[in-house]
Structure 1
Amino acid sequence: MTAPLFKGVITALITPLRDGKVDEAAFDRLLERQIAAGVDGVVPMGTTGENASLTVPENLAVIERCVDKAAGRVRVLAGCGAAATDEAIEWSQFAKKVGADGALIVTPFYNRPSQAGLKAHFEAVADAVELPIVLYNVPARTGCDLSNAVVAELSKHPNIVGIKDATGDMDRVSWMHANIAGAGSGEFALISGDDASFLGYSAYGGVGVISVTSNVAPEAMVALNRAIQVGDMASARSWQDRLIALQTALFLDSSPSPAKYALSRLGLCTEEIRLPLYRANDAVKPAIDAAMAAAGAS
Structure 2
Amino acid sequence: MLRSKTWTSTAYWVRTWSRRNHGAAASARLDLSGIYPPIATPFTAQEDVDYDKLDQNLLKYAKIPFKGLVVQGSNGEYPYLTEEERVEVVRRVRRSLPADKLLLAGSGCESSRATLRLTEKMAAAGADAALVVTPCFYKGKMDSHALVQHFTKVADGSAVPVVLYSVPANTGLELPVDAVVRLSQHPNIAGLKDSGGDISRMALLVHKTKSHHFQVLAGSAGFLMAAYCVGAVGGVCALANVLGQQVCDLERLCTSGRWDEAGSCRGAWSSPTPAVTRKLGVPALKQAMDWFGFTAGVCRSPLQPLDHEQTEQLRRDFSSNGWM
Question: Which category describes the TM-score, using the shorter chain as reference length?
Answer: over 0.9
Q: Which has the higher helix share?
A: 2
* TM-aligned CA deviation for residue 3 of structure 1: 7.1
RMSD: 1.7
Distance 1:230 1:4, change over 3 A: farther
Tell me the equivalent position of 2:39: 13
- Match status 1:247 vs 2:273: yes
Matches of 1:214 and 1:267, distance apart in 2 = 13
TM-score by length of 2: 0.86
* Greater C-alpha radius of gyration: 2
Tell me the equivalent position of 1:214: 240
Q: Check the 8 A contact 1:110/1:143 in 2, yes or no.
A: no
Tell me the equivalent position of 1:76: 103
Q: Check the 8 A contact 1:220/1:295 in 2, yes or no.
A: no
Distance 1:171 1:25, change over 3 A: same
Task: Give the letter for the 1:95 counterpart.
Answer: M
Select between 12-21 and 138-147 the one with higher mean Cα deviation: 138-147
- Match status 1:31 vs 2:39: no
Secondary structure in 2 matching 1:180: helix
Secondary structure in 1 matching 2:267: helix
Tell me the equivalent position of 1:111: 138
* TM-aligned CA deviation for residue 266 of structure 1: 3.0
Q: What are the ranges of 5 or more consecutive residues in structure 2 without an aligned counterpart? A: 1-27
Q: Check the 8 A contact 2:90/2:126 in 1, yes or no.
A: no
Tell me the equivalent position of 1:132: 161
Matches of 2:102 and 2:322, distance apart in 1 = 26
Secondary structure in 2 matching 1:264: helix
- Match status 1:173 vs 2:173: no
Tell me the equivalent position of 1:150: 179
Q: Check the 8 A contact 1:80/1:92 in 2, yes or no.
A: yes
Tell me the equivalent position of 1:197: 223
Q: Check the 8 A contact 2:168/2:174 in 1, yes or no.
A: yes
Distance 1:34 1:146, change over 3 A: same
Q: Check the 8 A contact 2:206/2:215 in 1, yes or no.
A: no
Tell me the equivalent position of 1:273: 299
Matches of 2:281 and 2:317, distance apart in 1 = 16
Select between 248-257 and 39-48 the one with higher mean Cα deviation: 248-257
Q: Check the 8 A contact 1:12/1:42 in 2, yes or no.
A: yes
* TM-aligned CA deviation for residue 272 of structure 1: 0.4
Matches of 2:322 and 2:191, distance apart in 1 = 32
Tell me the equivalent position of 1:235: 261
Q: What are the ranges of 5 or more consecutive residues in structure 1 without an aligned counterpart? A: none
Q: Alpha-carbon deviations, 1:250-272, whole Å to 9, x = none?
A: 13654211010111223422540
Q: Alpha-carbon deviations, 1:184-231, whole Å to 9, x = none?
A: xxx311111122111111101111111100011101101111111111
Tell me the equivalent position of 2:119: 92
Tell me the equivalent position of 1:122: 151
Matches of 1:8 and 1:165, distance apart in 2 = 14
Matches of 2:30 and 2:128, distance apart in 1 = 12
Task: Give the letter for the 1:70 counterpart.
Answer: L
Secondary structure in 2 matching 1:135: strand
Secondary structure in 1 matching 2:222: helix
Secondary structure in 2 matching 1:36: coil
